[in-house]
Amino acid sequence: MNDKPHIASAFDRDLEAIQAKLMRMGGCVENAIRNSANALRSRDLELADQVREDDRKIDELEAEINEDCARLVALRQPVSSDLRLALSVMKIAGNLERVGDYAKNMAKRTNLLAQMMPVNGATGSLQRMANEVLAMLSDALDAYIRHDQPLAEKVRHRDLEVDQMYNAIFREFLTFMMEDPRNISACMHLHFIAKNIERMGDHVTSIAEQAIYLVSGEMPSEDRPKANATMDMADDAVIGD
């Protein structure tokens, strides 16, 4: 990466403005994850509605960022690290928008779950998983803005923990459903929420990969650890029952 200023200072201002907007969008998405997880745990329907309302702002920011980047490419013809910056900002804005959508989906399901019998202990594990994704997102955005490749690499490998948490939750929910079929409706929704959080982790990983691309000029190879073992578990559950 090149820390020297451009000869055209307006170019620097454009690049800084785009990154500032991306960080603002990142902040909105962090709030969305935090609020949706809290709303789920405390059955706070007002907060859940707030998450759905706030998602509009996230979508607007993504559209603005895409427009700003298109304008930058058209007017400045960026190359090398400047081009990577424009491309990665667009990609990250797309990832953040998806994470925002998953948070909104959690909020919708929170409304439905509020009408059902609570499943004891289920929301605690989901909250822990959401906290982990939130911490990863915060680090991924820090790594991006500070051009901190080692931190981005760490985030990328932490997705394994989220996958493992998801596997544990999957197992937990299977047990709840087997114990009492009246839990099935709620557990189905809770499982979708778990899956949503797991998908958030994948998008956060993609953000970390964009940080690596921005700094190094190369996308990291595919060999990061993954641990989705739920396919095998589903079989075990059916056979074992």
Is 11 or 192 the residue whose CB approaches other proteins more closely? 11
Alpha-carbon gap, residue 191 to 197, rounded angstroms: 10
Instruction: Compare residues 13 and 182 and give the one whose CB is closer to other proteins.
Output: 13
* Closer residue to other proteins (CB): 118 or 217: 217
CB 217 → other proteins: shortest distance, Å?
3
**Which is nearer to other proteins, 9 or 120 (by Cβ)?**
9
Q: How far apart are the C-alpha atoms of 133 and 127, rounded to whole Å?
A: 10
> Footprint of other proteins on this chain (CB under 8 A)?
2, 4-8, 11, 77-84, 216-218
* Shortest CB 219 distance to other proteins, Å: 11
Cβ atoms of 103 and 29 closer than 8 Å: yes
Closest-CA residue to 233 (of 154, 163, 149): 163
Task: Say how far apart CA 119 and CA 42 lie, in whole Å.
Answer: 13
- In whole angstroms, the minimum distance from the beta carbon of 237 to other proteins comes to 41
User: Smallest gap, in angstroms, from Cβ of residue 93 to other proteins?
Assistant: 20
> Measured between alpha carbons, how far is 79 from 27 in angstroms, rounded to an integer?
28
Place of tokens 């200023």: 5
